[in-house]
Structure 1
Amino acid sequence: MVPFSFAGQEWHLGAARALFWAEENALLVADLHLEKASWFARFGQMLPPYDSRETLGRMADAIRATGATRVFCLGDNFHDAAGPERLESHAAGMLEALTRAVDWVWITGNHDEKGGAAPGTYVPELAVRGVALRHVAKSGETAPELSGHYHPKLRIAARGRRIARPCAVMSDHKLILPAFGALTGGLDAGDPAIVRAMQPAAAIDALVPAGERLARFPVWRDPLWQDGRAPG
């Protein structure tokens, strides 16, 4: 995982799309969308029913690699309210073991029930060390904030090919995490919906781990800031 600074604290972003918060010894992920494949199956679109196993397996790997003792899931944890009931026994056992091993906090998103469907603590949002943890970035928020919801992806052209990679999106005081779930699409990191959610901002960058460094790609700049004038 690659270290970087945000909100005056140390963080580590991994290629597996998880964020490690050193000061809290905590792992943060967004948009697991557990049981998305089984949700599609209910409507006749048959997909391999192993997305929850893969997602939870990567969660277990990330917890082991970081030694995290807390996990914050930033919303859209299951794909729908009935998702926990559809978990097959193996995936249910994985989730039970993980939530017993660490302090697990579910922040509820627009796909989620308000609480009680799976083991852990449920909150609509939370502030830790002055950092707001919520599912959807609050436009106009000026305090440090971590969120998910948009599944940002960096799309670039290289050597005649179009490449898309899950990424985090960061401004001076906002950070949107990539979707962690195995069966999730993505929105372009520079999409107007993401730019609006990140305001107020002078600059917005996409962050992509690349080996032992963190590649930063500018996706939006305030025109006034570009001209050397104060933004706003």
Structure 2
Amino acid sequence: MRRPTRAWDRSMNGIEIPFQGETLCALGSGALYWAARDLLIVSDLHFGKSERIARRRGTMLPPYETRATLERLEADLLETGAGGVLCLGDSFDDLDAANGLDGEDRAHLVSLIEGRAWHWVEGNHDPGPAGLPGEHHAELVIGPLVFRHIAEPGARGELSGHYHPKLGLPGCGGTRPCFLFDADRMILPAYGAYTGGMPATAPEFAALIGSPAFAVLTGAKPLLVPYPARKGTGRGRRRF
């Protein structure tokens, strides 16, 4: 597996990743840009998370995470000029959250969708259509790549989300959401403003990511580091 390189095309802040004969750019925001297909890929937006927590638990959180996520998404679309967006599942925290979006936030989201090829891949939080424009898929195959929410054992050319990987290194100021990838699969970080994360050292990742493998830590200065993984020690899936 060829070592990824830093990418500065169109002044993007990211790391170029050679993957299954394609070149993908992991952006510092947590989005992935596939220039050959003019496609921006994001996972686990979890729109409406604060509303869902308040509705189910009675715990009040500042209700601005959807707006913050939309603003980040809009900035990435402006930076890349992407004509298409692929959301890798758990775009909404549940179906009620999808139907209960604040009117201003919904209008903002629709304005981003308009004029773009927009794909919603189903997640475990949002298994059905949300009444918004765009195409809905259980999973999606484009060229040599397959896009689904939850990684499947033995897959090749797979991009997924769900696990919200994060990694901390000495001198990096705590943990950061990260991309994890080997020659066969890539797991994207959560893009939503209020989403948590699972340590990249967890056995769930060791069961999926082979060797050699790498991680790209997100942030103002994305950082590429080796990821020491070994398959066969996972303990199943975790629901976020």
Q: TM-score interval w.r.t. the shorter chain? A: 0.7 to 0.9
Displacement of 1:115? 1.6
**For residue 5 of structure 2, what is the aligned residue in structure 1?**
none
Runs of 4+ in 1 over 6 A off after TM superposition: 210-213
Alignment map for 1:167-206 (pairs within 5 Å) = 167-198=178-209, 201-206=210-215
**Counterparts of 1:210 and 1:77 in 2: how far apart (Å)?**
21
Displacement of 1:190? 2.1
Residue 84 of structure 2: which of 60, 63, 70 is its match?
70
Amino acid at match of 1:202: S
Structure 2: runs of 5+ lacking an equivalent: 1-13, 233-240
- Whether the 8 Å contact between 2:29 and 2:218 is mirrored in structure 1 is no
Q: Does 2:140 match 1:126?
A: yes
**Counterparts of 1:62 and 1:91 in 2: how far apart (Å)?**
17
Displacement of 1:173? 1.1
Structure 1: runs of 5+ lacking an equivalent: 224-232
**Counterparts of 2:176 and 2:222 in 1: how far apart (Å)?**
16
- Whether the 8 Å contact between 1:30 and 1:76 is mirrored in structure 2 is yes
Matched length? 218
- Whether the 8 Å contact between 1:202 and 1:221 is mirrored in structure 2 is yes
Post-superposition Cα deviations, 1:164-215, rounded to whole Å, max 9, x if no partner, equal 00100001110000000001000011211122233xx233322125767742
Residue 100 of structure 2: which of 66, 77, 86 is its match?
86
**For residue 235 of structure 2, what is the aligned residue in structure 1?**
none
Tell me whether 115-124 or 8-17 shows the greater mean CA deviation. Answer: 115-124
Amino acid at match of 1:47: L
**For residue 219 of structure 1, what is the aligned residue in structure 2?**
228
Amino acid at match of 2:48: E
Displacement of 1:157? 3.4
**Counterparts of 1:15 and 1:152 in 2: how far apart (Å)?**
14
Displacement of 1:3? 1.9
Alignment map for 1:97-108 (pairs within 5 Å) = 97-108=111-122
TM-score (norm 2): 0.85
**For residue 152 of structure 1, what is the aligned residue in structure 2?**
165
* SS at 1:56 equivalent: helix
Displacement of 1:222? 6.2
- Whether the 8 Å contact between 1:114 and 1:123 is mirrored in structure 2 is no
**For residue 25 of structure 1, what is the aligned residue in structure 2?**
38
Amino acid at match of 1:2: I
Displacement of 1:114? 1.8
Amino acid at match of 2:170: A
Tell which structure's C-alpha radius of gyration is larger.
1
**Counterparts of 1:166 and 1:116 in 2: how far apart (Å)?**
27
**Counterparts of 1:89 and 1:210 in 2: how far apart (Å)?**
30
- Whether the 8 Å contact between 1:209 and 1:215 is mirrored in structure 2 is no
Identity across the alignment (%): 36
Q: Does 2:24 match 1:11?
A: yes
TM-score (norm 1): 0.88
**For residue 62 of structure 2, what is the aligned residue in structure 1?**
48
**For residue 166 of structure 1, what is the aligned residue in structure 2?**
177
Q: Please give the root-mean-square deviation of Cα atoms over the aligned residues, in Å.
A: 1.9
**Counterparts of 2:231 and 2:185 in 1: how far apart (Å)?**
15
- Whether the 8 Å contact between 2:151 and 2:159 is mirrored in structure 1 is yes
**Counterparts of 2:167 and 2:208 in 1: how far apart (Å)?**
17
Q: Does 2:49 match 1:36?
A: yes
Relative to 1, partners in 2 of residues 1:213 and 1:17: Cα closer, same or farther, differing over 3 Å?
A: closer
**Counterparts of 2:127 and 2:19 in 1: how far apart (Å)?**
30
Relative to 1, partners in 2 of residues 1:86 and 1:204: Cα closer, same or farther, differing over 3 Å?
A: same
